[in-house]
Structure 1
Amino acid sequence: MSWNTTALGVLAPGPPTPLIDLPVAAPGIRLLLKDESRQPTGSLRHRHARALFRQAIADGLVGEGTIVVEATGGDAAVAQAWFARRLGLPYIVIMPGERTEARARPVEALGGECRFVTPPLAIYDAARALDGHFLDQFGRAAPHDLAEELFAQVRPDWVVTGAGTGATSATLGRWIRDHALSCRVAVADPENSAYFPGWTLDAPDYATGMPSRIEGIGRPRVEPGFRPDLVDLVIPVPDAASVAAARRIRELTGLPAGAASGTALWAALELAGRMHARGESGTLVALLGDAADRHLATYHDDAWTAAKGLDVERHTGELRHRTTA
């Protein structure tokens, strides 16, 4: 059996992730969370990583022994290191800033190598300079298998997701159009991100130049993988509301959700309120992109959020009003 054949077996999709009913106060509205924290590496980035590897192998860019390189941090690096280890490939990730054990340890535990670079925007040139294949999750943003799986489980009226590379909203929108479905796609966008103003102004080259405080989503520029023509609505979400919504997910489900998941929930509740005001009913799905114990020391910790200037309590009452235990 060839290495490529074995690799494609390693990269085969796993079992579907579950849907969680989240009670909402708006009559006639059903809200489901698609729990991507059940992926083997705990986040939606698992699908992104699988798709990037599959595309690179199919294109002949990665083969047995190829050094795989990426410029990123957090969940994306962990997911890519997981697949690289199972494929027997060396993996190097260039991360922004100074080394922290919290970021390096999960990747190194999977056999990956972490290198840290300053200033942060230098990570991309540093990755391209290495002798290996640069996965380039922002430049390539390979479509993944979420849409096929989701629409086999439920036929929602709206799907709400955050945007990092833009691959998820593009994958969902393309699937909906290819299959002539009536579902629509909403992107939840945090503060400082370029997607909401870029989409509103029809400016594909829009840039804020400011980093997002919400791990996993929001970009200082509109990335090539973001397809505004496949998105029906972009909803801006205050960072404090994202954090409050992540805490509400934990209260209702027990899952220590990341703030990116909170961003999607807040936007979904905003959308549910608009639907109810128009006398509409229907089903919404919000992506629960990740949940991990490490979030307990950040987004779920009062001292941490206070140090970041995030007034979480300002949004807590509204969330409890919109959702019911």
Structure 2
Amino acid sequence: MTPVDRCSDTTRDWVCRAVRIIEADANRSADTHLLPFPLPADWGVQLYLKDESTHPTGSLKHRLARSLFLYALCNGWIVEGTPVIEASSGSTAVSEAYFARLLGLPFIAVMPSTTSEEKVALIERQGGACHFIDEPSRIYEESLRLAEKLGGHFMDQFTNAERATDWRGNNNIAESIFQQLDLELHPEPAWVVVGAGTGGTSATIGRYLRYRQLRTRLAVVDPENSVFFTAWRDDNPALTSSRGSRIEGIGRPRVEPSFIGAVVDRMIPVPDAASLAAIRTAEQVLGRRVGGSTGTNLWGAFGIVAEMVAQDCPGSVVSLLCDGGERYAHTYFNDDWIARQGLDLRPYQQVLDRFLATGEWQYF
């Protein structure tokens, strides 16, 4: 690859055009909706879901990808022709492939060889290429190696997520939530409930709450086989696991650099069967399918709502609808797949049914 003069007027002009292109994409898109989740009025508690599935690439990761590209461009890491490499087999890769295509840059997602055909197709549809490895634990190492070989840039979402987003405002997700709550009955929610994958979203929201001197608390839900909860509880950021999360987009086998545990007020471990039971419940109530990470969010949010009802504490709770369920037709919404995973959703479905009928949270 021919070396690029990063200080030339030509390079600066290209970077200026690239930033405008990415900002124009944001300007073309209306903000995502804040949807009320129907709960009985006499409970005195409102639950809202920030619907991130309406982004052009269909998920919360669209915000992250936009921020990562702006961060890399303004740091001088990406110039005209720079190959962009990311360690991701899911929504982040889809969104980054989208922005790379807008800028005319090659994009490569480094992913395990077991990645589903549906995900590969989504990345390739946005113009990205997929680089497969047999050992998932080598995904970071292989991404760095590939970037060095090609003279490219490794985005490294897990390190740069919390750095790339301006947590003080500038149209981040926290600022958007509070602007949309402004005319609601309880505009300052008691809790915001999110999951952690990179840790960037929880870091942004937690910092914003403190910066704006808000009394809202931040709860982070964590699925099975993820170390975030245990590492936070035991104050052990070096904790690792050899297993990965079934709930795509959240949960990690290590504490990622972007996860800032000090801004988290509460962490809630959520069984995978509970997450999947919650997405079945959401489909019945909302009339649409949502992804597994949304189910994890809902399980945590429902538990907090039930506590507020039991304590006769009126207020509001906000969580995220991270992506649509159409990406998971062959997994989370497939009874045969669930059976192969050895998961039994029925006990958790009973908890949810009782909660929606009575407001009580009887979690065994």
TM-score (norm 2): 0.85
Matched with 1:117 is 133
Matched with 1:107 is 123
- 2:105 is paired with a residue whose SS is coil
Question: Does residue 17 of the first structure (1) align with residue 23 of the second (2)?
Answer: no
Contact 2:89 2:115 in 1 (8 A): no
CA–CA separation in structure 1 for the residues paired with 2:194 and 2:144: 29
Matched with 2:5 is none
Structure 2, gaps ≥5 residues long: 1-11, 167-171, 182-187, 358-364
- Structure 1 or 2, whichever has the larger Rg, is 2
Larger CA deviation: 127-136 vs 286-295: 286-295
Say if 1:270 and 1:99 are closer, same or farther in 2 by CA, change over 3 A. closer
Contact 1:256 1:295 in 2 (8 A): no
2:235 to 176, 180, 202: 202
2:159 to 115, 133, 139: 139
Matched with 2:13 is 2
1:169 to 202, 210, 213: 202
- 1:323 is paired with a residue whose SS is helix
How big is the shift at 1:210?
Answer: 1.8
Question: Does residue 254 of the first structure (1) align with residue 287 of the second (2)?
Answer: yes
Moved over 4 A (4+): none
Say if 1:44 and 1:99 are closer, same or farther in 2 by CA, change over 3 A. closer
Matched with 1:157 is 190
Matched with 2:312 is 279
- 1:269 is paired with a residue whose SS is helix
How big is the shift at 1:212?
Answer: 0.8
Matched with 1:148 is 175
How big is the shift at 1:16?
Answer: 1.1
CA–CA separation in structure 2 for the residues paired with 1:138 and 1:225: 6
1:58-97 paired onto structure 2 within 5 Å: 58-97=74-113
Contact 2:35 2:50 in 1 (8 A): yes
Q: Residue deviations 1:223-276, cap 9 Å, x none?
A: 110001111110111100000101111111222211110000000011111222
How big is the shift at 1:24?
Answer: 2.9
Matched with 1:270 is 303
CA–CA separation in structure 1 for the residues paired with 2:153 and 2:136: 21
How big is the shift at 1:164?
Answer: 0.1
CA–CA separation in structure 2 for the residues paired with 1:33 and 1:7: 32
Contact 1:164 1:216 in 2 (8 A): yes
- 2:221 is paired with a residue whose SS is strand
CA–CA separation in structure 1 for the residues paired with 2:54 and 2:34: 11
How big is the shift at 1:93?
Answer: 0.9
Contact 1:298 1:304 in 2 (8 A): yes
Q: Residue deviations 1:285-308, cap 9 Å, x none?
A: 111111141322211121211111
Say if 1:169 and 1:304 are closer, same or farther in 2 by CA, change over 3 A. same
Say if 1:219 and 1:296 are closer, same or farther in 2 by CA, change over 3 A. same
Give the number of equivalent residue pairs: 324
- 2:43 is paired with a residue whose SS is coil
CA–CA separation in structure 2 for the residues paired with 1:255 and 1:8: 35
Structure 1 counterpart of 2:34, one-letter code: L
- 1:192 is paired with a residue whose SS is coil
Structure 1 counterpart of 2:336, one-letter code: A
Question: Does residue 183 of the first structure (1) align with residue 198 of the second (2)?
Answer: no
Structure 2 counterpart of 1:62, one-letter code: I
Q: Residue deviations 1:102-153, cap 9 Å, x none?
A: 2211111111110100111112111101221000001211326211211111
How big is the shift at 1:55?
Answer: 0.5
Structure 1, gaps ≥5 residues long: none
CA–CA separation in structure 2 for the residues paired with 1:265 and 1:247: 11
Contact 1:256 1:296 in 2 (8 A): no
CA–CA separation in structure 2 for the residues paired with 1:296 and 1:104: 15
CA RMSD of aligned residues (A): 1.6
CA–CA separation in structure 1 for the residues paired with 2:59 and 2:139: 23
- 1:129 is paired with a residue whose SS is helix
How big is the shift at 1:284?
Answer: 0.4
